[in-house]
Structure 1
Amino acid sequence: MVRPQPQPVGAGQESVWDYPRPPRVERVARRARIELGGEVIVDTDDVVRVLETSHPPVYYLPADAFVAGALRPGEGSSFCEFKGGARYFDVAGGGQVRPRAAWTYPQPAPGYEELAGRVAVYAGQMDRCLIDDHEVEPQPGGFYGGWITPEVVGPFKGGPGSMGW
């Protein structure tokens, strides 16, 4: 498969095609907020992101920063070749529940220990997810959990025709 042509990078932007594989974990000085059912279910500046080639960043927030009852054990699990075994959460807020809308790595693989006790959320299943004051766009396709913000350019894996990237 031929690598897609990266979009031009402007001032203050970064290309997902410059992100590494295997993915890198980094702490960022950003504020993350998530709203569901008209309720803010998390608002924190304790933010870690995972960067992987062709993917917008996945943001991981402390589980204990979510309001009480927002994270409920969900069904199923999955496995990432880099980060290890994931467990899912149903996410609740404002009288709404979104099944399997978040995940965590209870025992992250070596090199990803900073993800322990943190949760990532599928932006497309929430009312709004914000990084600083920018509402994010969900990564295309519904399978991956990246958050697209104005400073990140693609093209992004997840949309039609991107499976082999």
Structure 2
Amino acid sequence: MAPRNEVEDVWTYPRPPALQRTPKYVFFPSPHTRVLRLRVIWIATDGAETVLADTTEGYRVLETTHPPTYYLPPGALKVSLQKTSKSSFCEWKGQASYHTLQPPLSTIPIQNRIWSYPAPTGSFSPIKDHLSFYASTGIDKKKLGGEWVCFVDDERVGLQEGDFYGGWVTSNLKGRMKGGPGTWGW
């Protein structure tokens, strides 16, 4: 596993995809381990912040040409979700379920921007019921009254291009990523 400051080329990620615990790094000569922290924070238009999810016990899925997709355990969630009727199928992970979140002090629910696998296939069984968030709500923050932002450690992540995949783009990634125009046939 590469330390967070080492570059990862998305073109070297495997296909079929691999599931990996979020990395833990030991720094020498200091006798401590630093654990990768994943957070999703709601930031209201007035600047007030509410933690939606926070964990050091996540997973990431690595797939060729994709930024990592992070999965947070159900216990990381600090708010309640409602399951929606939407589902999708991944040839590697199985059937996904989608969820609605009602943001703090907003009258508009955020639908189908969080998903999970209630019965994932074989090698992905560790992420059963873990939650993955798109890096944005997909709704204008003025209309919504705020936005959620996702973090890997203290770095605010960028969006994977397009609106189908939910990878989190961090500054240590390189290589053209799937999701935008002209990349669907990869």
TM-score, structure 1 length as denominator?
0.88
For structure 2, the 5+ residue unaligned runs are 25-35, 138-146
Is 2:89 the counterpart of 1:79? yes
User: Secondary structure, in 3 states, of the residue corresponding to 1:112?
Assistant: helix
Report which structure shows greater RCO (CA 8 Å, sep ≥6): 1
Partner of 1:119: 131
Structure 2 counterpart of 1:133, which letter? D
In structure 2, C-alpha distance between the alignment counterparts of 1:63 and 1:90, rounded to whole Å: 14
| Aligned CA-pair RMSD | 1.3
Q: Show CA shifts across 1:95-144 (max 9, x none).
A: 34210011001000011111112010101215210000000001000110
Structure 1's consecutive aligned runs of 4 or more residues displaced over 4 angstroms after TM superposition are none
Structure 1 counterpart of 2:97, which letter? R
Is 2:38 the counterpart of 1:32? yes
Aligned residues: 154
Which has more strand, going by share of residues? 1
Q: Which has the larger radius of gyration?
A: 2
Q: Show CA shifts across 1:31-55 (max 9, x none).
A: 0110124311111111100000000
Structure 1 counterpart of 2:120, which letter? P
Structure 2 counterpart of 1:74, which letter? T
In structure 2, C-alpha distance between the alignment counterparts of 1:95 and 1:75, rounded to whole Å: 25
Q: Tell whether the 8 Å contact from 1:39 to 1:93 is kept in structure 2 after alignment.
A: no
Q: How does 1:1-165 map to 2 (within 5 A)?
A: 12-28=6-22, 29=24, 30-36=36-42, 37=44, 38-69=49-80, 71-96=81-106, 97-125=109-137, 126-165=147-186
For structure 1, the 5+ residue unaligned runs are 1-10
TM-score, structure 2 length as denominator?
0.79
State the identity as a percent: 41
1:154: how far off? 2.1
1:94: how far off? 1.4
Q: Tell whether the 8 Å contact from 1:19 to 1:52 is kept in structure 2 after alignment.
A: yes
